Structure 1
C-alpha cells in the first residue's frame, strides 16, 4: 500500500508539473488558442456539440459549446472561422476557460477574434480569477453586436492585472436565445504583457505614441478593437480610456495601415459615439500647456458614410480642459497626416485630453467596413504664459 501511495503521489506530481509547464506562456497565441488541436471525438455529440468539459485540449468548457469547422452551415448561413479551419461557438450560458501561468503583479492584454451569428445583441463576459483564490476576480463585458469589418468578425482586446502567478481566463456568453446555438463564434486567442509607460520630462501624457498596447497577430490586416471600459478597469491601451456606451476604437499597426509615427496608432472608427481620453493629474491651475498631436488617413480607402453631410475628408476634435480645436484630414483615403496644436490654460487638475472623430466613415469599396481618422504621437508640455495673453490679464 505504501508503494501504491508513492506511485499515486508521483503521478499527481508529474501531472501538475506538466500542467504548469504547458501553461507557462509568453507574448503570443495561447496554447491551442486557435482551436486547431481538435477535441476528443468520444466527448462530442452530433459531430459538433462538445459534451466533455476537457474535450478540447488546454481548455475547459461548460454549457452549450460547439466545435465549428470553416464553411459549416446553419440554415442558409455559412459560419465563418477567423483563423485556420476551426473555432468554437458559445451558445446559451456557455463558457470556456484556460489556466495560464503569468507574472504576478504584471498587466496583460488578451486578444481574440469573435463573430456574431444569429443573435442581435451579443455580449461576452470576460473574467480572470486567481486559481488559488485570495483575490477577487476581474471581469468586464465586451459588446460584439456591431460588426466593424466586412469579413463578419473582428479582433477584440481586454486587459487585466495578474493578481497571482496562476490565473484562470474565462469567456462566458450569458445570452439566452430560443435557439441555444445562437451565440458568438470565438477564435485566435493570444496574450501580451503590458508595460504601462510613465510621464516623462518631455511628455506629461502616458503612452502618447500608442506603442504600448494589445497583441496584434502577425499578418493580421484588420487591427484590434479596444472596447469601452469603466474607470476602474485595466486598459488594453495603457494610459488611455475609451469612453462610449458600446462602441470602440481600433488599434492598428504600420504593416497594414498608414501610421503617422512609429509602429502603432489608434483609428477612430465610431464617429462621435466614442472618445479617446486620458486624464493628466499634474497640471496646475493657471499654468499654460501645449497639446500637440498627429491626425491622419490610414490609407485604407476611408470615405464619409452616405448619411454624413460633410462634402469630404475627415475631422478630429481635440480638447484639453475647457479648450478645443478641430483638425481637417483630406487625403482621399490614400494616407498622409497633419499636425495639430492646442495651447490652453489649465483650470486645475486633472485635465482631460480627449479626441473624437466628428463624422462616420466606411471604406470606399462598398464593403461596409467602418473606418475613421488616425490619431498618433500625442504630447503635452508646459509652456511659459504667452506675452500677448499676459498683457490682457
Structure 2
C-alpha cells in the first residue's frame, strides 16, 4: 500500500507539472503570419528597378499588403545595407487589416523607426501606432533606428483589426527628408498566462513580451504603461522607459529574456500579487548587467508591500549577475501586495547609449507553513469532491 501510494503521488505530481507546462506553452502562440509584407521587402509595382531615392506613392500606386494616404514614400535598399522601408511624410499613414485568431489573445507589435535626416531632424517627427484598443506615440531619434514594443489590444473570434501607422509633427517644416521611416513590423499573440510552480508571480521570468526583430541587436524599448493589462511586458506595468533584451544579443541571467532599466530617473517595473495577510513570503530575483559595456555601480530598489530594500552590484559591463532575496510579511488589508523594481540612477556606455541594471527571474515564494496549509486545503477540497463520485 505504501509503494502504491508513493507511485500515485509521483504520477500526480508529474501530471500536474505537465499540465502547468502545457498552460505555459500556450502563451507562446505566434502571430508572425498575420501581416502581409511586414518588412516592405515586396515593392510597389511602379517602383523603377534601378531606383535609389525615395519614391513618392501616388493615388494609383499600390503598396503590397497595405493601404496608404497622405505623403508616403517607398525607400529602396542602398549599397550601405539599408533595408527597404516606408517613409511617412505630411499626413502620411499606412494601414492593414488582419484577422484575430479564433481564441481570445493579447496582441503585441514590435517595429523599427528611424529618421533619414540625421542631426538636423532631432526634434521633428514621431510615429503614431493605433488599433481599436490602443494608441502609442513614439519619438524618432537622430542617431540610429530604434525598436519599440507596444500592446495593441485583446481580441478573438476572427475579429477584423485595423492596424494604423502614421506620422506626427509639431513643427512647421515639411521637409520630407526629416519625416520618420518605418520598417520591420512584427505581430505576436499571447494567450492567458498562469503561475509557474512555486511562484506567486505570473511572468516572473519575463519570457512573455513583444517579439525581437531578427535584424536587430539593440533590444526592444518599452515606454511607460501604467496598467499591466495594457503593457507589452505581460503582467507588469512599466515606469519610465525600459529595454526588453534577449539572450541572443545580451547576457540574460535566466531564460531567453530580461528587462534592463535604461531611462535612469524612476525607471522600472511593477506588478501585484494576491497574498494572505500576516503571512510570510520571500522575494528572490537576479540582478546583473547585460554585457553591453555598462560599467559602474548598478542599483535597484526592490519593494514588496511596505518593505523596501536597495541592492547594488559593481558592473564591468561584461555580463554577470547575482541572486538576491529578502523576507517580508503581507500587510495589505485588500490582499493585493505591490511588487516593484526601480532604478534612480542614469548610466551610459562610452558611446552615449543609455544603459542600466538588468533584472530577471523574479520569484515570490510563500513560507513553508503557508504552503503546507494551502496544500492541505487543496487536498481536503479534492477529497470532498472525489468522495461522492467514488460512492
Name the TM-score, length of structure 2 as normaliser.
0.76
Q: Please state how far the C-alpha of 1:285 moved relative to its aligned partner.
A: 2.7
Coordinate RMSD, CA, aligned: 2.8
Q: How does 1:236-275 map to 2 (within 5 A)?
A: 236-244=232-240, 248-275=241-268
Structure-2 separation of matches of 1:53 and 1:222: 37
Runs of 4+ in 1 over 6 A off after TM superposition: none
Is 1:179 aligned with 2:191?
Answer: no
Give SS of 1:52's match: coil
- Distance across 1 between alignment mates of 2:262 and 2:139: 14
TM-aligned CA deviation for residue 123 of structure 1: 3.6
- Kept in 1: contact 2:281–2:330 (CA 8 A): yes
State the secondary structure of the residue aligned to 1:378.
strand
What SS class does the counterpart of residue 311 from structure 2 fall into? strand
| 1:48 Cα deviation after fit | 2.0
Task: Give the 5 Å matches for 1:1-393.
Answer: 26-27=31-32, 30-41=35-46, 48-52=55-59, 55-70=62-77, 84-104=82-102, 105-116=104-115, 117=117, 118=121, 120=123, 122-128=125-131, 137-145=132-140, 152-159=144-151, 160-163=153-156, 165=158, 166-180=160-174, 181=176, 182-218=178-214, 220-231=216-227, 234-244=230-240, 248-280=241-273, 282-303=274-295, 312-348=296-332, 349-364=335-350, 367-383=351-367
Q: Residues 157-186 of structure 1, C-alpha deviation per residue, up to 9 Å, x if partnerless? A: 112212552221111223343233233211
Distance change (3 Å), C-alpha of 1:63 and 1:235: same
Q: Secondary structure at the match of 2:328?
A: strand
Residue 92 of structure 1 and its aligned partner are, at CA, apart by: 2.7
Q: Conserved in 2, the CA contact under 8 Å of 1:98 and 1:170?
A: yes
CA distance in 2, matches of 1:122, 1:277: 30
After TM superposition, give the deviation of residue 314 of structure 1 in Å: 1.0
How far apart are 1:216 and its partner, in Å? 0.9
Give the Å deviation of 1:254: 0.9
1:211 is displaced (CA, Å) by 1.1
State the shift of 1:356 in Å.
1.4
Partners of 1:42 and 1:67 in 2: how far apart? 8
* Aligned-partner Cα distance in 2 for 1:101–1:205: 31
Name the structure where helix makes up a greater proportion of residues. Answer: 2
Query: Cα distance, 1:52 vs. partner?
Result: 2.5
Q: Secondary structure at the match of 2:315?
A: coil
Residues 383 and 54 of structure 1: CA distance in aligned 2, closer, same or farther (over 3 Å): farther
- Aligned-pair CA distance for 1:187: 0.5
Q: Is the 8 A contact 1:269 1:361 kept in 2?
A: yes
SS in 1 for 2:248: coil
- Which stretches in structure 2 are left out of the alignment for 5+ residues? 1-29, 371-391
Structure 1 gaps of 5+ residues are: 1-24, 73-79, 129-136, 304-311, 387-393
